[in-house]
Copies of this chain bind each other. A is one copy, B any other.
Amino acid sequence: MLKKTDARLGEFQAFMSKNGVEAYVVSSPADQYFLTGFRMDDWTLLVTPKHARGFMPEMFVGQFRDIAPFCDAEKAVYPHKAVVAAIKAAKITRAAFDGGNETFVSGMFWRKNGLHDLPGAVAHLRRRKDAFEAGLIAKSCKIAVKAYKTLLPEIKPGMTENQVRARLEYLMDMMGAKEPSFSIIIGSGPNAALPHHITSDRKLRKNETLLLDFGCRYNGYCSDITRTIFLGRPTEEFRKIYAIVDKSQEAGVKAVRAGVMTGDVDKICRGIISDAGYGDKFTHGTGHGLGLDIHEPPRLNNNPALNVSLETGMAVTVEPGIYLPGKFGVRIEDTVLVTKTGCDVLTR
Contacts and interface: CB of A to CB of B under 8 A. Distances in A.
Interface string A45-80: 000000000000111101100000000000001000
Interface string A192-231: 0011111100000000000000000000000000000000
Nearest to A179: B183
B196 A59 contact: yes
Contacts of A165: 173
A83 to B, nearest CB: 15
What is the interface residue range for chain A against chain B? 35 or more
Given A100-B105, A103-B99, A173 B178 contact: no
B173 A169 contact: yes
Interface string A161-188: 0110111011001101011100100000
A123 to B, nearest CB: 12
Copies of this polypeptide in the complex:
2
A80 to B, nearest CB: 13
A126 B325 CA distance: 35
Nearest to A38: B198
A101 B323 CA distance: 33
A40 B108 contact: no
Contacts of A93: none
Contacts of A303: 77
Given A104-B106, A105-B119, A166-B174, A195 B59 contact: yes
Contacts of A173: 162, 165-166, 169-170
Interface string A272-284: 0000000000011
A326 B106 CA distance: 36
A250 interface: no
Contacts of A102: 103-104
A221 to B, nearest CB: 15
Contact of A196 (B63, B167, B195): B63
B101 A103 contact: yes
A284 B57 contact: yes
Contact of A194 (B63, B106, B178): B63
Interface in A293-320: 303
A6 interface: no
Contacts of A114: none
A104 B117 contact: yes
A107 interface: yes
A301 to B, nearest CB: 10
Give the top 5 A-B pairs by smallest Cβ distance, nearest first. A104-B107, A166-B173, A99-B104, A170-B170, A59-B283
Interface of A: 39-40, 57-60, 62-63, 77, 97, 99-108, 117, 119, 162-163, 165-167, 169-170, 173-174, 176, 178-180, 183, 194-199, 283-284, 303, 323, 325
19 contacts: A40-B196, A58-B283, A59-B196, A63-B194, A63-B198, A97-B104, A100-B103, A100-B104, A100-B105, A107-B107, A107-B108, A162-B173, A162-B176, A163-B174, A165-B173, A167-B170, A169-B170, A170-B173, A178-B199
